[in-house]
Structure 1
């Protein structure tokens, strides 16, 4: 199957980029609400509707939710791409719809999505509220879980650009986790089902992004929703959409999340999972914090008349300004930085650093500078 072509055919073209809000998705949901498939299942802290989309008649029940963190929108886009596939009338769509019943919450945290924040309007991280259930959004998610009684849960998130695949120097474009169900991180029947499915999806994705798939840390935290659902005996899979080179809008990453969803459900529907492949799962390298957005090497800096050669790095802050996400680069660290990588790297070859301030890179300073007054960088990027 040509997953690339399948993505192109089913991509939801009305949404793109990083800033995906309730206003972005309501027209799509209205389009799909043909047979009462779309419902309002509750409201956010600020009274915004939280929607569900239910499709399929199969006995295996799949529960998927996205944008639990409001600024993590890549999987929301991929989820709508997948919903398009379910509605395209193809043989594959029919196969999936007769095998599964899909219960989707495309945007659990509409307030955080509007504000482009991780937390909800009460400044609570919903992914740390699975036990206390203090927030309306957390209560809605748990109520659906209890009523729907899924056979599998898909917990859809984004991860920052700082994550790489172990120490390979490759970004973690997509990462997965079969969360632990206890402090000892043991593998029971439920967790093994999630492990086996992830290992199978990984084999498919390696054909498209070899070496760019990571495995998230599996330390147990019962306050996290994935750990809770795994503890309650439902195989749960964490998706983390990460960085693909030169793809800060995450349109390429979106494609790989779509591929992961489609291939996973095909594998499940055809009962094509190899049993007990824990070793293949553990062979997926762990995520590691090894990346910065920009790295500048072998830079000459003049400290009070003493010249040294060093390195420094800059990182984007994603700032919401007038309903648009602005990527603003700031210097974050100066030093040896051994073992770290930049998504963009530049070797200054001992050229002298200069800027409009103190002529030394300072943490939290905007990344506008030059080398030898010949090579200029604005917002971290080389000006050619």
Structure 2
């Protein structure tokens, strides 16, 4: 795996979970003399939806991020990719000569500004692939039809609840080659997507062993990935997930960058067929066994609970001003022995008990 000199190419001006047009526009303007930036349409509330064009090669790769406005990790990683390609290394030159890459950094700018999954009409754009009732959906399909991509990269974030298989490993990155029919058959284009995922997984296992999952492949023609797969374009779903103590997802951002670089590198060097399908199915499926915090033996704090009861807490991401805050929300009380916590406290442990009593938001949830 190539080093990519990531620290030098990371776009440090764009960080955190809230990423909007206002955040990325100065960077897009700075690279526009090299990589043309176009306005492809407008959102429900009239915000611009922009694309960048990189390279001049015959192989066409289309990627879009923030279809869900509050899923910004992949946007940051994509801009890091743009920065790498701008820096003029031998590998960058090879990619730009072999490929033409079309990037929509923020497809849902209204949702990005409001930090919501849906657009301003409260529509999930990833369930609007067929009817295309929303202007953002129309823009994506028009770009697809005009560009005629050979590959599509559908870029998302997933929640902190996901683990890998039945392990205590968080699903820091997950992939899917979406189905192209209800039978979930392996068409030629879906097989290509699977082989690219195998290549990315091989690279990531060296960095985050056991922390790569495979997303559910239930077929839904209204999902954009399934819809483009139905049109015989190899389509890959990227899901940026949780890395320990990385709620701003700056570390996960790096792993998505690595995945993008590996996939594009394999395409550029015509090495897709060096991978086989079997390892794709060996990637464990995602499961939902994580809470952000588990507090064990909470009867030590409040005697109304049963002996051995545990509390499962999830953080609710809330936009406050121009900042995302993480508010603790009590999800469940009971036996959580089959679940994992990104942080776990045991009220039978004196230090943990002291931490809970000194953490007002946790203690208040248990009263």
Bucket of the pairwise TM-score, normalised by the shorter protein: over 0.9
Structure 1 segment 305-344 matched on structure 2, within 5 A: 308-344=307-343
Shift of 1:313: 1.3
Partner residue, 1:236: 235
Match of 1:377 among 356, 359, 364: 359
Partner residue, 1:218: 217
For residue 337 of structure 1, give the secondary structure of its aligned residue in structure 2. coil
Shift of 1:55: 1.1
Partner residue, 2:269: 270
Higher helix share: 2
Shift of 1:303: 7.5
Change (3 A) 1:180 1:304: same
Partner residue, 2:286: 287
Partner residue, 1:134: 133
Partner residue, 1:298: 297
For residue 144 of structure 1, give the secondary structure of its aligned residue in structure 2. helix
- Segment of structure 1 superposing worse, 329-338 or 161-170: 329-338
Change (3 A) 1:10 1:309: same
Partner residue, 1:157: 156
Partner residue, 1:365: none
1:30 aligns with 2:12: no
Partner residue, 1:46: 45
- Segment of structure 1 superposing worse, 334-343 or 226-235: 334-343
Query: How high is the TM-score relative to the length of structure 1?
Result: 0.90
For residue 155 of structure 2, give the secondary structure of its aligned residue in structure 1. strand
State the Cα deviation string for residues 30-67 of structure 1 (Å, max 9, x = none): 11111570010100000000001001111100000000
5+ residue gaps, structure 1, are 352-369
Q: RMSD in angstroms over aligned alpha carbons?
A: 1.9
For residue 54 of structure 1, give the secondary structure of its aligned residue in structure 2. strand
**Paired residues of 1:57 and 1:100 also in contact (CA < 8 A):** yes
Shift of 1:194: 0.1
1:62 aligns with 2:61: yes
Structure 1 segment 82-231 matched on structure 2, within 5 A: 82-231=81-230
**Paired residues of 1:109 and 1:137 also in contact (CA < 8 A):** yes
**Paired residues of 1:299 and 1:350 also in contact (CA < 8 A):** no
CA separation in 2, counterparts of 1:373 and 1:79?
Answer: 39
For residue 308 of structure 1, give the secondary structure of its aligned residue in structure 2. coil
Query: How high is the TM-score relative to the length of structure 2?
Result: 0.95
Higher strand share: 1
Shift of 1:377: 2.4
Q: Which runs of 4+ in 1 moved over 6 A?
A: 302-306
Q: Which structure has the larger Rg over C-alpha atoms?
A: 1
CA separation in 1, counterparts of 2:92 and 2:173?
Answer: 24
For residue 300 of structure 1, give the secondary structure of its aligned residue in structure 2. helix
5+ residue gaps, structure 2, are none
1:72 aligns with 2:54: no
Partner residue, 1:366: none
Change (3 A) 1:138 1:114: same
State the Cα deviation string for residues 207-237 of structure 1 (Å, max 9, x = none): 0000000000000000000000001100000
CA separation in 1, counterparts of 2:310 and 2:331?
Answer: 11
